[in-house]
A and B are shown apart, each in its own frame.
Chain A
C-alpha cells in the first residue's frame, strides 16, 4: 500500500535496475499476443474533432481506428475523449487502473489526504471473451486538490504541478494502481488488446465528446501492457504516437530534471511530458514548441529572415534536449484553454499523417491512413501536413493551422 508521505523514491526503483521496475510481474502485463500471428504492422493513430461544439460518439472513432486493421497486432489500443464531463468540467478527473480492491483502498487513502474527492464511480467495463484476463478494475475520481494543507504548500507548487506530482507518485509506486488520465473534462480509455476489443471493454459507444483521439499499437521496443498503451496522458494533455524516439535518453533527462518520472516503459511517454513542460509550464506557443521538438536543419534555418532565424536558433539551443530524434507522427490533445487537436510529424516525415475536413468544415480528422478518414466521412477533403509542421484545430475556432504554413506563422514575436 502506498504510504501517506512524500519520501524519496527507494533506490530499488531506479530505472538502471530493470528487474526492479515497479511494473515487473504485474498480472495484467501482456507479454504475448493472445492470438499471435506475425504480421508486419505499425502503430495507427486517428482523431476527430467537431469544431462547432457538437458531440461525437465513441463508435465513430472506433470505426476510424479499426479501419486501419493492417497496422495493429493486438498489443494495445486506447481512446481519449474531450468534452466528456460538462457537469464536472472544473474538477480534475483521475481515471485509474487497479489490480485489486486492496490497491484501490490504498490509493483512495492517499488521495483523500491530498484532495477533495467530489465524486467517484466505477467505470463500466465488459469482460470481452477474446481478451486475456485478468482485467484491471477501472475507477474514476473527480477531485479538487487540497491547497490548504502543509503537504501542498511545502512543495511550493501550483495546483497543476501538484497534480502532476501526485500522478508521478502514484505511477512510480508499487501500489497496484496506474493513473492513466488526470485532466479536466477528459478521460483516457486504454488497455492491451485490439482496438475493437478495447472499445468493447469500455463500451466506448456510450461516451460522447467534442474530440476523440485514438491509437492502435504495434509495439516495437517496449512491452505491450495496459498502462503503457496510448494515449499517454498527464493533466489535460494526451498523446497518441506512431514511431520511435531514438533520442529517448536525452529527452528523459530533460523531463526528469523538471520533475517528471518516466514509469510507463515506453519512449512515447516523454513526448507527453515535453508538451506539458514546453507549452503549459514554459508558455511556448504551439508552433514554437513543435519547432523545438522537430527543428529544421541549421542550413535551412540560415535561409530564414533574421528575426525568425534568431528565434529558430534560440529554440534549437535552448531546447536541444527537447529535440525528438527519430521517426514519429503524433496526435496531441488538450482541453485547456479550449479543446485542441495538434497533429505533428517528424522533420523528415518518416511516419504517415493525413488530415481531412468535412464539406461543411465542422468536422476535422487526422489519421495514419486516408482510409480511416474516408470510412467515416466520405466527402472529406484530405491533405497532408508538411514535415515538422503542426496542424492545430480548436473548438470554436476551426482549423488554426493546416501544417503547410511557414514556421512560426501566427506567433507574436
Chain B
C-alpha cells in the first residue's frame, strides 16, 4: 500500500464566502471528482463543515474518501462504489439511496441513515436517530447492509422492502431495548436483527418477531465481523442475544385497498 502514497491527496475545506457560508458542496464535489479522475485513490478532506452530498454518485470501487470534521446531510447519496470513512459524527440522511460501496462512521449518524438504500454497506460505530433504514430494498440477491453499534429511535426500517439492518446495542443496559417504537411499520421484505428485546408494543403494523434461522445467523455474524474489523469493538456473539424482526408476508396490506370495494 505504501507505494500508492503518491496517489493520495488532501483537500482543506476550511473556507467561507462573503455570507459566512462554508465552501459550497458543488465546488467541493467538483474538486473531489477532479482528484479521482486524475488518478488519486485516496482523498482526505479536512475541516469539513456541513457540506452536503459529499462524494455523491461516486462509482469508482478503488477510491477511498476520508472525512475529518462534520460532513453534512446526504453524505454519499447515490453512492455506487468506493469507501467513505468519517472520523467523527455524520448528520442526517447518510447514504441516501446508495447503490453500492461502503460508508464507515466512527461516531454517530443522526436521523434517516440509509434512506432507501439499494445496496452497499453502512457501518455506524455509535448511535443513530429516527427513521433509520426506511424504504431499503433489495434486488436479484444484492441488498444494503446497515449496522448500528449503539441504539436507534422510532420508525426503524419503516416500509422496508429488502436488505438487512443490525442494531448491536453496545453499551446499552441489558433490560433497555436499543430500538424505539414503530419498528418495521409496513415492512414487506428484508430483516432487522436487534440485540436485546423488542417488545410487542415496539413493533409497527406488519412487523413481527421471527425465529433466527441458521442462514440469518450466518449473515448477522458476517455483518458483526465487518463491524469488528472497522472499529475494533466486540459486540455480543451469542446467538440467543439477538432477535429478528421481519414481515410475515410480502404484501401485508393485501385486501386493504380492494378496488372492488369502492
Q: Do A352 and B20 touch across chains, with their CB atoms under 8 A apart?
A: no
Q: Do B153 and A382 touch across chains, with their CB atoms under 8 A apart?
A: no
The answer to the question of B63 belonging to the interface, with a C-beta cut-off of 8 Å to chain A, is: no
The answer to the question of A412 belonging to the interface, with a C-beta cut-off of 8 Å to chain B, is: no
- The complex places the Cα of A348 from the Cα of B155 at a distance, in Å, of 9
- The complex places the Cα of A68 from the Cα of B153 at a distance, in Å, of 25
The answer to the question of B121 belonging to the interface, with a C-beta cut-off of 8 Å to chain A, is: no
- The complex places the Cα of A354 from the Cα of B89 at a distance, in Å, of 12
- The complex places the Cα of A196 from the Cα of B22 at a distance, in Å, of 12
- The complex places the Cα of A384 from the Cα of B150 at a distance, in Å, of 13
12 contacts between A and B (CB under 8 A): A63-B20, A66-B19, A69-B22, A70-B50, A70-B73, A195-B20, A300-B201, A303-B201, A370-B50, A374-B88, A384-B108, A386-B153
From A67, A199, A349, A384, B49 is in contact (CB under 8 Å) with: A67
Residues of B within 8 A of A387 (CB): 130, 153-154
- The complex places the Cα of A63 from the Cα of B21 at a distance, in Å, of 9
Residues of A within 8 A of B52 (CB): 70
What is the number of residues of chain B that contact chain A, defined by CB distance less than 8 Å? 31
Q: How far is the CB of B237 from chain A (nearest CB, A)?
A: 29
Give chain A interface residues in 282-339, CB to chain B under 8 Å: 299-300, 303
CB-CB nearest 9 A-B residue pairs: A69-B21, A371-B50, A66-B20, A371-B70, A196-B20, A349-B130, A196-B19, A374-B70, A194-B19
- The complex places the Cα of A300 from the Cα of B181 at a distance, in Å, of 9
Residues of A within 8 A of B21 (CB): 66-67, 69-70, 196
Give chain B interface residues in 15-35, CB to chain A under 8 Å: 16-22, 25
Q: Do B201 and A196 touch across chains, with their CB atoms under 8 A apart?
A: no
Residues of B within 8 A of A195 (CB): 19-20
- The complex places the Cα of A69 from the Cα of B23 at a distance, in Å, of 9
Q: Do A69 and B19 touch across chains, with their CB atoms under 8 A apart?
A: yes
- Seed contacts A130-B18, A199-B20, A348-B154; 20 additional CB < 8 Å A-B pairs: A67-B21, A69-B19, A69-B21, A197-B19, A349-B129, A349-B153, A352-B92, A352-B110, A352-B111, A354-B110, A369-B50, A369-B72, A369-B91, A370-B50, A371-B91, A374-B70, A374-B88, A382-B108, A384-B111, A384-B129
The number of chain A residues touching the other chain, given as a range, is 20 to 34
Residues of A within 8 A of B22 (CB): 67, 69, 371
Q: How far is the CB of A220 from chain B (nearest CB, A)?
A: 18
Residues of B within 8 A of A369 (CB): 50, 70, 72-73, 91-92
The answer to the question of A62 belonging to the interface, with a C-beta cut-off of 8 Å to chain B, is: yes
- The complex places the Cα of A387 from the Cα of B131 at a distance, in Å, of 12
The answer to the question of A372 belonging to the interface, with a C-beta cut-off of 8 Å to chain B, is: yes
The answer to the question of A2 belonging to the interface, with a C-beta cut-off of 8 Å to chain B, is: no
Residues of B within 8 A of A137 (CB): none
Residues of A within 8 A of B69 (CB): 371, 374
The answer to the question of A375 belonging to the interface, with a C-beta cut-off of 8 Å to chain B, is: yes
Residues of B within 8 A of A303 (CB): 201
Give chain A interface residues in 190-204, CB to chain B under 8 Å: 194-197, 199
Give chain B interface residues in 128-150, CB to chain A under 8 Å: 129-130
Q: Do A371 and B130 touch across chains, with their CB atoms under 8 A apart?
A: no
Interface centre among A130, A300, A375 (most CB of B within 10 A): A375
- The complex places the Cα of A62 from the Cα of B127 at a distance, in Å, of 29
- The complex places the Cα of A369 from the Cα of B73 at a distance, in Å, of 9
Give chain B interface residues in 98-112, CB to chain A under 8 Å: 108, 110-111
- The complex places the Cα of A174 from the Cα of B201 at a distance, in Å, of 54
Residues of A within 8 A of B155 (CB): 348
Residues of B within 8 A of A349 (CB): 111, 129-130, 153-154
Residues of B within 8 A of A196 (CB): 18-21
Residues of B within 8 A of A372 (CB): 50
Q: How far is the CB of A92 from chain B (nearest CB, A)?
A: 32
- The complex places the Cα of A270 from the Cα of B25 at a distance, in Å, of 35
Residues of B within 8 A of A386 (CB): 153
Q: Mark A57-79, 1 if CB is under 8 A from B, else 0.
A: 00000110011111000000000
Q: How far is the CB of B200 from chain A (nearest CB, A)?
A: 11
